[in-house]
A and B are shown apart, each in its own frame.
Chain A
Amino acid sequence: MRVNVDLRLKDVPGQLIKALEPISLNEGNIVGVVHNHDLVTGGRISVNVTFEYKDQRALDAISSAWKERGVEVVKMGEIFRTYAAEYLLVGDLTHAILRTITESIEGMEGVETMDLQYSLATGTADRSVLLVVSVRERERVRDIDSYLGAMSERHDFLLIRGMGV
């Protein structure tokens, strides 16, 4: 699990180490640190940290260590990892069918965003469409796979999947 936090530290040397130490002590994995030297409020500077933590207990331990050390937590938000699944469809993809596909996929559980690109058909009846869908959980990709599989069978589209997430 991944989390992003806004911290306020005293503007004196050694504070950053003090703030990051509890993360590694609790088997967390620091993914990124943004140090905002310019953003000083009330004698405190702001630091934004992204890290992965083991479980809720580890996250609680990190939070209480910060409290003890006088590190102020301004904001903490869970970051969800997303998985991108790609599909190419080739066939007689009318606007009406594309709309149905878009609406169905966007309405599926766990779907975050969907991007659609298509070529302008050049002379042939077959149009090629690229779909990139990002989902919260890997398992959701299977739902999209089977939906597009069934659509392709019904409408005689060629379906080209990615290599899986």
Chain B
Amino acid sequence: MRLALVGFGTVGQGLAEAVAMKKDLIYDRFGTELRIVAAFDSRTYAMDPRGLKPLELVARKQAGKGLGRTRPKSVAEMLRELDYDVLVEMTPTNIEDAEPGYTNIRTALECCRDVVTSNKGPLALRFRTLDELARKNGVELRFEATVGGATPIINLSRELLMAEKVESMKGILNGTCNFILSRMGEEGLPFEYVLKEAQEMGYAEADPSYDIDGIDSASKLAILANAIMGMDVTYHDVRRTGIRRITQEAVELAAKERKVIRLIGEVNGEGVEVAPRMVPLGHPLAISGTLNVLHMHTDLAGAITVVGRGAGRKETASAIMSDLVGLLKRNACLLNGRVK
């Protein structure tokens, strides 16, 4: 299966490493390889129909040399001319207009290519458009890595729980906020102090608003509402309250009632909302640290909880690999044992 990687930062490099690491496993199971035929970053690209060496790409990128030649035109234009099977889109999330991810994904789907992405913007803003385009062209759009890092929430719900009606979902979808709230509760520290600490440890960006104002959680929740509960919502439909105004006193009052404060995303019959909530100790959502968790209720299975790491180089690569394996399995079925 020939891959075109767009975006070669933390996630792109993590994926290249995972492709190299799992080469034998993929060959044993599917009798084929994940061949990277093109890779793009913001300025440069490398291309070889016989396959690029994943670890060499990583080494070149880490040496600060870019991936190869300077890109003469937009990635989307180059994608139209390129021969590949799957676009793996890993450019930065943009919650204003979803670019450049939206155009890249759209271009691939229009050319009847499968797409795997870790980029939340296009799905949080234009889910239905992209989903319908993929269906119309008979290709797949997979996005496990957009929500919950290594937690296999989306594929679990869309594949193994396909026969279930998911009635409600509640979850913690942002590790940075969970880290901050856990530290405030466990150490009795003020918000500003813990935020600074999170920034120093690399858990929070210099501009932390994307995390602490609930933007990241709301994007992920919109994706889940569409993908798992069949809704038609965008990021803008999510009612959103962040964690900036949570005081030490509030955390202490909650603790008196044996509760912790967590930033919870919830989808139910009444709507889609991200807000801080009081969670009883011992509840499946009362987790600490940078973990992510999703708790759902379905008509047959009842309550199901999935907990795991929410972000990171290897963790996100794991989610992308699960999507690529999904495509390999589908190909194996379609071609009756023979795979592309």
- Residues of A at the B interface (CB closer than 8 Å) are 86, 88, 90-91, 117-119, 121-122, 124, 126-130, 132, 158-163
A-contact bits for B288-310, CB 8 A (1 contact / 0 none): 00000000000000000000000
Residues of B within 8 A of A129 (CB): 253
Residues of B within 8 A of A161 (CB): 275, 277-278
Q: Could you list some 29 contacts between A and B, CB below 8 A?
A: A86-B278, A88-B278, A90-B245, A90-B246, A119-B249, A119-B252, A119-B253, A121-B249, A128-B247, A128-B253, A129-B253, A130-B254, A158-B241, A158-B246, A158-B250, A160-B250, A160-B261, A160-B276, A160-B277, A161-B275, A161-B277, A161-B278, A162-B277, A162-B280, A163-B264, A163-B277, A163-B278, A163-B279, A163-B283
Q: In the complex, which of the residues B170, B253, B259 contacts A162, with contact meaning CB atoms closer than 8 Å? A: B259
Q: In the complex, which of the residues B241, B253, B285 contacts A88, with contact meaning CB atoms closer than 8 Å? A: B253
CB-based contact B247/A90 at 8 Å: yes
Asked if B256 CB lies within 8 Å of chain A CBs, one says yes
Give B270's nearest chain A residue, CB to CB.
A142
The answer for the CA separation of A163 and B264 in the assembled complex, in Å, is 9
Question: What's the A-B contact tally at a CB cutoff of 8 Å?
Answer: 67
A-contact bits for B259-271, CB 8 A (1 contact / 0 none): 1010010000000
Asked if B257 CB lies within 8 Å of chain A CBs, one says yes
Residues of A within 8 A of B257 (CB): 86, 130, 132
Residues of A within 8 A of B275 (CB): 159-161
Per DSSP, chain A at the interface is: strand
CB-based contact B250/A122 at 8 Å: no
Residues of B within 8 A of A162 (CB): 259, 277-278, 280
The answer for the CA separation of A164 and B283 in the assembled complex, in Å, is 12
Per DSSP, chain B at the interface is: mixed
Q: In the complex, which of the residues A91, A117, A163 contacts B280, with contact meaning CB atoms closer than 8 Å? A: A163
CB-based contact B256/A130 at 8 Å: yes
CB-based contact B278/A122 at 8 Å: no
Q: Which of A86, A127, A158, A161 has the most CB of B within 10 A?
A: A158
Given contacts A88-B250, A159-B275, A163-B264, 6 further A-B contacts (CB under 8 A): A130-B254, A130-B256, A158-B245, A158-B250, A158-B276, A160-B276
How many chain B residues touch the partner (CB < 8 A)?
A: 23
- Assuming the A-B contacts A161-B277, A163-B279, are A117 and B247 also in contact, with contact meaning beta carbons closer than 8 angstroms in the complex? no
- Assuming the A-B contacts A160-B278, A161-B277, are A88 and B245 also in contact, with contact meaning beta carbons closer than 8 angstroms in the complex? no
CB-based contact B249/A122 at 8 Å: yes
Give B261's nearest chain A residue, CB to CB.
A160
Residues of A within 8 A of B253 (CB): 88, 117-119, 128-130
Residues of A within 8 A of B283 (CB): 163
Q: What is the CB-to-nearest-CB distance from B214 to chain A, in angstroms, rounded to a whole number?
A: 12
Give B241's nearest chain A residue, CB to CB.
A158
Give A127's nearest chain B residue, CB to CB.
B249
Give B170's nearest chain A residue, CB to CB.
A163
Residues of B within 8 A of A118 (CB): 253
The answer for the CA separation of A132 and B278 in the assembled complex, in Å, is 12
- Assuming the A-B contacts A86-B259, A119-B253, A132-B257, are A126 and B276 also in contact, with contact meaning beta carbons closer than 8 angstroms in the complex? no
The answer for the CA separation of A64 and B259 in the assembled complex, in Å, is 46
CB-based contact B249/A128 at 8 Å: yes
CB-based contact B254/A88 at 8 Å: yes
Q: Which of B241, B252, B277 has the most CB of A within 10 A?
A: B277
Residues of A within 8 A of B256 (CB): 117, 130
Q: Which 6 A-B pairs have the closest CB atoms?
A: A119-B249, A128-B249, A128-B250, A130-B253, A158-B245, A162-B278
Q: In the complex, which of the residues B241, B247, B285 contacts A163, with contact meaning CB atoms closer than 8 Å? A: B285
Residues of B within 8 A of A163 (CB): 170, 264, 277-280, 283, 285
Residues of B within 8 A of A124 (CB): 247
The answer for the CA separation of A118 and B252 in the assembled complex, in Å, is 10
Q: What is the CB-to-nearest-CB distance from B179 to chain A, in angstroms, rounded to a whole number?
A: 18
The answer for the CA separation of A124 and B246 in the assembled complex, in Å, is 12
Q: What is the CB-to-nearest-CB distance from B110 to chain A, in angstroms, rounded to a whole number?
A: 43
The answer for the CA separation of A160 and B275 in the assembled complex, in Å, is 7
The answer for the CA separation of A132 and B259 in the assembled complex, in Å, is 13
Give B242's nearest chain A residue, CB to CB.
A158
Give A132's nearest chain B residue, CB to CB.
B257
The answer for the CA separation of A158 and B283 in the assembled complex, in Å, is 23
Give A156's nearest chain B residue, CB to CB.
B245
The answer for the CA separation of A162 and B275 in the assembled complex, in Å, is 11
The answer for the CA separation of A132 and B256 in the assembled complex, in Å, is 12
The answer for the CA separation of A161 and B254 in the assembled complex, in Å, is 11
